Structure 1
């Protein structure tokens, strides 16, 4: 009695392939076609965006099939909102990708390494060759008192601090250099301590040539002549204003064309007889340059 196996094996002259080998080859083929599991953040987000767009289109199609007479949806607003969300999503994606770019990180590391190398090389230099960070040195105000000033210099600086703003204001109004007015006031009033400056508030030695002046207009002081009379002012400021008016009129008016040339002004005042001192010009220039009064002319 012969038994026939229902699972007969067909013979074609070649050995039958092993089921195990065939399964291994199929798995190998499947592994080759399987996409890589490592996705970049940018690619993953793009896939999500693509899927959302397809889902939105499909949902919109299904909703359109409904009876629009019963359901009214603000399609325009929904579309605008969807576009805005998409744009915001894309901008955030680009910003994140840019911040995580390897080129930017390499650049930051390079800058940090360069600064570290410079600091290290600086520390290895001998002490006398190392660069010392420079600190700005504040400019010394020539009107401020300093150690070693004589009593005369301290009085002069006090007078300059008191009246330098008045000199600048008068310069802007009348065109007389502030340096000239300051030097004349300092010299003529002896830094505001002369008897004429204290009693008459007259800081510029302005004389009175009137023959019939009212009482309290002037007083007699021994100067070059026993009959010299000098003006009396209510305040020191009134004396400064009278001096400006005197230099901008009469015989001194021609000096205004000299601008802020304090040397030319000193020479002109001496030539026109403002004072009888033959060294008046040199004295004014020395005072201006000692206390740097010419800087007031540029204010």
Structure 2
């Protein structure tokens, strides 16, 4: 999911500090009962159509980020889908939930972090972007040029190895032990590697 560690919070598992993700707000209470409304499960065809539409909208951004940095477009697309819930949770155009101050400022959002081995809910400052393109470019730069995750760039020609590299080493992209598997499933299920190419 979207749980992230502060780098000094847990000695066994460390995350790059830029990747501290927000917790989407709870749904508002129902009109009369005071309980959260029940979501209607989408049909497989409608869910598939929404997912295809999300990838079509985000593809130009992922390709631009790939051309600039070499981060595989398939990885950017899969991460944006997973981290933003197919675009439903991207406040401030932050499709990757990156912490700090972005080109359009910052926003305070709820997040979950591990402290002393326990998962706690807290507020943190997250980057804001003027548009999705800024979010994709910043995400790719943080991976390709940042000191915590750039080791993954050695695998830019293989999305599966790239994703696994994001979860290896001292700093990890996500605390979810199945994060790499989830991304690989998304990449393979949607044939996203067809958009990948080696950086010049």
Q: Same fold (TM over 0.5)?
A: yes
Larger RCO: Structure 1 or Structure 2 (Cα < 8 Å, ≥ 6 residues apart)?
2
CA distance in 2, matches of 1:166, 1:219: 22
1:296 aligns with 2:195: yes
Q: Please identify the structure whose Cα radius of gyration is greater.
A: 1
Pick the structure with more strand per residue.
Answer: 2
Report the 3-state secondary structure (helix = DSSP H, G, I; strand = E; otherwise coil) of the residue aligned with 2:110.
Answer: coil
Report the 3-state secondary structure (helix = DSSP H, G, I; strand = E; otherwise coil) of the residue aligned with 2:176.
Answer: coil
Q: Would the aligned equivalents of 1:176 and 1:260 in 2 still touch at CA under 8 Å?
A: no
Report the 3-state secondary structure (helix = DSSP H, G, I; strand = E; otherwise coil) of the residue aligned with 1:223.
Answer: strand
How many residues were matched structurally? 144
TM-score w.r.t. length of structure 2:
0.66
TM-score w.r.t. length of structure 1:
0.45
What is residue 175 of structure 2 aligned with on the other side?
276
Q: Alpha-carbon deviation of 1:298?
A: 4.0
The equivalent position to 2:135 in structure 1, one of 230, 239, 251, is 239
Pick the structure with more helix per residue.
Answer: 1
1:260 aligns with 2:183: no
Q: CA RMSD in A?
A: 2.0
Q: Would the aligned equivalents of 1:183 and 1:287 in 2 still touch at CA under 8 Å?
A: yes
CA distance in 2, matches of 1:240, 1:149: 28
What is residue 187 of structure 1 aligned with on the other side?
82
What is residue 206 of structure 1 aligned with on the other side?
98
Once the two structures are superposed, residues 92-147 of structure 1 have per-residue CA deviations (whole angstroms, 9 ceiling, x without a partner) of xxxxxxxxxxxxxxxxxxxxxxxxxxxxxxxxxxxxxxxxxxxxxxxxxxxxxxxx
Q: Alpha-carbon deviation of 1:173?
A: 1.7
What is residue 184 of structure 2 aligned with on the other side?
285
